[in-house]
Amino acid sequence: MVVSLGRGAVQQTYTAPADFADAKTVVIPPGGLAEAGQALAQAGVIQYPLLFRVAAFLTHSQGHIHAGEFLIPAHSSLAQLLNILRFGVVVQHHVTIPEGLTGIQIAKILNAAPDASGTISAPPEGAVLPQTYDYTLNTPRTVILHRAEKAETAALAQAWAGRDRTVALSMREALILASIVQEETPLADELPKVAAVYENRLAKGMKLQADPTVIYGASGGALASGVAITRSDLENPNPYNSYVNAGLPPGPICAPGLAALNAVLHPASSDDLYFVATGTGGHVFSRTYKQQLTNIAAYHAAIGH
């Protein structure tokens, strides 16, 4: 009797637009039609859970109702609602890991990602590929991190396979240098020039004297840019300080993007050994220390110091 009455009601309302005027996000819990109907009613998507259950039962041959988080467009009919719950894509959340962040900074971003679950510790420097990652409701943050680490492994292997074979660095060394290059300039067209400077200095046995390594070492790995450097920072004997130590630091100082990595593996053809900021957003490059001093003076004049 209930099914007979329900069939008549469904025939009248199955394709009629619902009353709710705004799109709604609804979490359908695991379980049966009763749990789904209750969730939809509480969200204001349906008025009568029994009617929903009858409609779902009568059309069960079309597919199962899935659990998950769904976006229901305004005024969705019962037919449209059931189609979404059977065949729709669950809501995708997004978290972006920018280029040039330390492991500590990356952990803060992932631990703050909304609607994910659990917590993570800081990943090793350079182990994560900076980009946007999609995830669904209650995805463990460890899963998101693992995806970012797998993406980095694959990207590094691909970039390494296509490298300029004259580059005198190991894969690990290339990653370390890319993390330094990443921090030195926001301009994509400068990345290969900066990479060339550092690779030239390494070839000549010169210290890198890279400011980001100073910041990273002085901050205990919390930062690699964005703060002023003091004389005591420059003299700090930590192993990352490339003003004190020759060669590359013992590890990456941040997560470099693909552009920085490719710049290291395909550096500009250049004899430059120095560069300094222009004061207007870019850098000027030079082969000699004498010219570097001139460029430094021009920088101070540009910023009014």
Q: What is the DSSP string of 154-169?
A: HHHHHHHHTS-TT---
Residue type, position 167, single letter: V
What pLDDT does 305 receive?
67
Output the six-digit token pair for 98: 């920018």
How many residues can be counted in the chain? 305
Which backbone phi and psi does 14 adopt, to 5 degrees? -60, -40
What pLDDT does 9 receive?
52
Output the six-digit token pair for 111: 């631990």
CATH topology of domain 2-87: Dna Ligase; domain 1 (3.30.1490)
Output the six-digit token pair for 185: 């300039």
Domain ranges of the chain: 2-87, 93-153, 164-303
Of 184, 185, 181, the residue nearest 261 (C-alpha): 181
Q: List the chain residues with pLDDT less than 70.
A: 1-11, 305
The DSSP call for residue 66 is P
Residues with Cβ within 8 Å of residue 19, at least 6 apart in sequence: 47, 75
Find where tokens 């946007």 sit: 132
Cross-strand bridge partners of residue 264: none
The DSSP call for residue 74 is T
pTM: 0.90
Give yes or no for a contact between 60 and 69, defined as CB atoms under 8 angstroms apart: no
Three-class secondary structure of residue 134 per DSSP: strand
What pLDDT does 302 receive?
84
CA dihedral (93, 98, 99, 103) positive or negative: negative
Of 69, 13, 77, 7, the residue nearest 39 (C-alpha): 69
Output the six-digit token pair for 78: 């019962």
Give yes or no for a contact between 240 and 213, defined as CB atoms under 8 angstroms apart: yes
